[in-house]
Structure 1
């Protein structure tokens, strides 16, 4: 790092700027949160980025979105939210490459905005991951109902719960390797699905007829349920994309984070755009919104499974349903990983009991893993009210929580850049967000609007109290946690020249240039496909 003699946080001429004589220079780092083992390889990190997003929200959520909003709502909402996620990831990638710590955007909210803001956001996102893990366990029962409705609702969920807890508590390599192979399987399945869907639409189906855009003209299509149906799909899409931002949480356990994280951020967007948008389009064209089983209070059949059945093979349908089961395991595995690391960060920052910072000899936060998994297990236990209904409520809670996180990332990004400018450190960024300043402004503005309007369906045609709670409970809880921590700890809004832009920092000077030879280009191409 250059020009650090003037102070750890400030390099300008502000009179309040402190001076330190023993400040580390060049490539030395002040490290506060870098205690987890950096054992995740670039190959695993790339796949984890997909694993956090491609899961229940795509395989089951698209069916619910199609049934409640119609094909046009499905495609439009998934596209709009995809755009929001893109600018959000650009903001996050810039910060995470500069300060690659396990708390990621939750840590940034505390450092660059207000400690109370970081406190509220981290607890919100930890609960998000605990609920997401439970939602994935509930989804297993919905998928099992494709074969039989006599299988005990709790059996498979308990088995998978034990499996993912073990994978997360052994060591980070075990988690990373399990996630890699599960994600690779789902990526291959989606590619096959897209190719097969084109054939099904062109006439390669059991009816031997050209489908085209017929499903966009039946009944109430293409927009089903009016503005309420359209608005409700946004929270489903937000649930589906949720987890994209949690790739930055792996920063604390990623080798060469200043180089790998920007690469992951830039590559992941195109893969998600390809998988989500193309899948939504294919589902909208091939599966009618009124197909039986897409969404009920007790069951939910994946539109992916329906599409394979349309190709004329029940065996293929069963195979795809089995693959979707593994993808749900993958998503739950990732959510538990992210949640436990956030709880560890809460302990490190003094926002939770210090016991959550305890590590195994493999540097895994085992207490945080166990506590998060217990909360997920308790939420899963509520499945007796109806797996389909519970999954919908959990999905709403997670979707809104994701949007609050994206808003917070945008706010933190604006403050982060203001601090860099005030301290004259913009030139040290290893990765620059080219969407700044309009990118974070869009992330904050559009997400705030969606959070308020997407619960339209719980007001019309009649008010549904339980749905209202699932859409909006996160808002007062977030505000209450912020206000309480601010009053108790008397925290202050962080001024630009007081921002900590030194601790845990990796600058562009810490990256050795790669050789531009054939081997290097081969690695880049292979890395895009996560090999």
Structure 2
């Protein structure tokens, strides 16, 4: 049963209490209506267009990590270290994005890579990963609210917590309305950021060649000052990796939107193919210009109490206080956009955790949605972590933001690592079960078979080496911000194994529902993933790639999707086809 072009989920791997009731003619209709009502109360809506999804991915990445985090990276590692580290992380993220795009196109479910790790690797690991990523998004919200206080210091130091409170109320209100409200806000805030970065690139070039307050050619002189181009030795260089990971974090969230994206078979590959190249272009050029125009020892660039945006500094060098204020205003809107994105993603992850069947991984309350498809209880729980931002009054805004940045950066890396593991297991299962590769809706052929291995090995190396500056010399608080998530993941993984006892129950693709539009309906004999019962008190729940169900949750085009595809083909093949191709490329 479907409404408004949306498929109704059928609980997969669980028993409906109504199936055991006698269905008399007097009560059958009531039972069906009640079942539909309960299903509707836990459904998300596919209300995001390709235009919005692309901008959501951009908005989640171009934010405080670029506008403020580059100042911290420049001060700690120097211009050369910043450029190299951001380029290395960009390569990792791009490969990761392709791996995620393959799975998200094939299985556009809510929860994205968390769900894929659960389904293809280990339900217990998926549990730990999902809670880790929820905490990542919740802390990201607190980080953005803290960043708002730092940005506000450009104008005034009076009660900076006020702007955080106002932003918090606004973001919760927007996300409580409808997913389209969130998508539209993200679209226009992202459009403003992209336009501003283009202006910054032009201004940065002009400032470098002499159009500045000193009327002097700068060139590469800041790469040759004492201490540059590498600052702080190996520890400073390695430390930039976590700030770069913080900056690029958010690209993986395009998979989070898969469950609410229209026509995912067409739109998800388009998003994957075009979004990251735009981000890569903006990041690398912007970082190069920042390293050329701003010295690493610029006063107030990054310290315990404050962090100054290199973007604002470059506009100030152009000789216009108005332009600098405008740039700072844009940064403030990017903080708002970043918080909006983090709140949305965190809410959906918590909703997905609560929707796991047959055994929920979060309180059932968080799976409930409003009539407009908003998981309001998950929204309130995620937004509550934002109160961490008010700790800046006690330990300094700059230092608190640095700690939060480390936490989020490492969490992003764990997410990328998990995508690599899930992709590796999914690809092996596909080959092992002898499904034809041409049945994969989107396949990045040039990443086969080395792509997942590259991501796994590289990310593990980054996680291990980036905290070197906190080890030598040892700094307990900073060390904790770099590595605390690793033991937490281990404890949560082990704890869920003990609670769920995988050896005594079915682990058949938990956390997923089989949509009526899924091609699994055409494969009633698709293999299930049911392990042999075990009496061991502790046993792993590693998914068997030979039996994991590869058909459940596969998306099959609906009538609305087919109409949209036909309209697009008609437009691109008409007299103005070239114009429509340009439109679809950009929008």
TM-score when normalising by structure 1? 0.91
Closer, same or farther: CA 523–297 of 1 in aligned 2, 3 Å: farther
Which residue of structure 2 aligns with residue 494 of structure 1? 543
Q: What is the alpha-carbon distance in structure 2 between the residues aligned to residue 33 and residue 288 of structure 1?
A: 55
Closer, same or farther: CA 524–342 of 1 in aligned 2, 3 Å: farther
Which residue of structure 2 aligns with residue 517 of structure 1? 573
Which residue of structure 2 aligns with residue 394 of structure 1? 404
State the structure with bigger RCO (CA 8 A, min sep 6), 1 or 2.
Answer: 1
Unaligned runs of 5+ in 2: 1-11, 13-38, 503-540
Q: What is the alpha-carbon distance in structure 2 between the residues aligned to residue 488 and residue 84 of structure 1?
A: 35
Instruction: Tell whether 2:462 aligns with 1:440.
Output: no
Closer, same or farther: CA 417–504 of 1 in aligned 2, 3 Å: same
Match of residue 457, structure 1, among 469, 477, 482: 469
Which residue of structure 2 aligns with residue 48 of structure 1? 56
Which residues of 2 match residues 206-217 of structure 1 at below 5 A?
206-217=213-224
Which residue of structure 2 aligns with residue 183 of structure 1? 190
**What's the CA shift for 1:281?**
0.4
Match of residue 76, structure 1, among 72, 84, 104: 84
Which residue of structure 2 aligns with residue 327 of structure 1? 334
Q: What is the alpha-carbon distance in structure 2 between the residues aligned to residue 217 and residue 265 of structure 1?
A: 39
Which residue of structure 2 aligns with residue 290 of structure 1? 297
Q: What is the alpha-carbon distance in structure 1 between the residues aligned to residue 347 and residue 180 of structure 2?
A: 15
Q: What is the alpha-carbon distance in structure 1 between the residues aligned to residue 199 and residue 493 of structure 2?
A: 46
Instruction: Tell whether 2:375 aligns with 1:365.
Output: yes
Closer, same or farther: CA 196–370 of 1 in aligned 2, 3 Å: same
Q: What is the alpha-carbon distance in structure 2 between the residues aligned to residue 464 and residue 33 of structure 1?
A: 48
> Deviations along 1:451-482, whole A, 9 cap, x unmatched?
0110011122x211000000000100011111
- 8 Å contact from structure 2 (residues 343, 382) kept in 1: yes
- 8 Å contact from structure 1 (residues 116, 486) kept in 2: yes
- 8 Å contact from structure 2 (residues 41, 370) kept in 1: no
Closer, same or farther: CA 186–292 of 1 in aligned 2, 3 Å: same
Pick which of 117-126 and 482-491 moved more: 482-491
Q: What is the alpha-carbon distance in structure 2 between the residues aligned to residue 267 and residue 79 of structure 1?
A: 18
Instruction: Tell whether 2:426 aligns with 1:416.
Output: yes
Q: What is the alpha-carbon distance in structure 1 between the residues aligned to residue 167 and residue 434 of structure 2?
A: 50
Q: What is the alpha-carbon distance in structure 1 between the residues aligned to residue 236 and residue 104 of structure 2?
A: 36
**What's the CA shift for 1:433?**
2.2
**What's the CA shift for 1:522?**
3.2
Aligned residues: CA RMSD: 1.8
Match of residue 428, structure 1, among 397, 415, 439: 439
TM-score when normalising by structure 2? 0.82
User: SS state of the match for residue 139, structure 1?
Assistant: helix
**What's the CA shift for 1:339?**
0.2
**What's the CA shift for 1:506?**
1.9
User: SS state of the match for residue 481, structure 1?
Assistant: helix
Which residues of 2 match residues 200-349 of structure 1 at below 5 A?
200-349=207-356
Larger Rg belongs to: 2
Q: What is the alpha-carbon distance in structure 2 between the residues aligned to residue 176 and residue 520 of structure 1?
A: 28
Which residues of 2 match residues 10-49 of structure 1 at below 5 A?
35-49=43-57
- 8 Å contact from structure 1 (residues 430, 508) kept in 2: no
Which residue of structure 2 aligns with residue 529 of structure 1? 586
Q: Which runs of 4+ in 1 moved over 4 A?
A: 31-34, 507-514, 518-521
Unaligned runs of 5+ in 1: 1-8, 10-30
Q: What is the alpha-carbon distance in structure 2 between the residues aligned to residue 232 and residue 190 of structure 1?
A: 25
Which residue of structure 2 aligns with residue 62 of structure 1? 70
Closer, same or farther: CA 523–102 of 1 in aligned 2, 3 Å: farther
User: SS state of the match for residue 552, structure 2?
Assistant: coil
Which residue of structure 2 aligns with residue 135 of structure 1? 143
**What's the CA shift for 1:495?**
1.0
Instruction: Tell whether 2:413 aligns with 1:406.
Output: no
- 8 Å contact from structure 1 (residues 34, 252) kept in 2: no
Q: What is the alpha-carbon distance in structure 2 between the residues aligned to residue 527 and residue 154 of structure 1?
A: 42
Q: What is the alpha-carbon distance in structure 1 between the residues aligned to residue 41 and residue 230 of structure 2?
A: 48
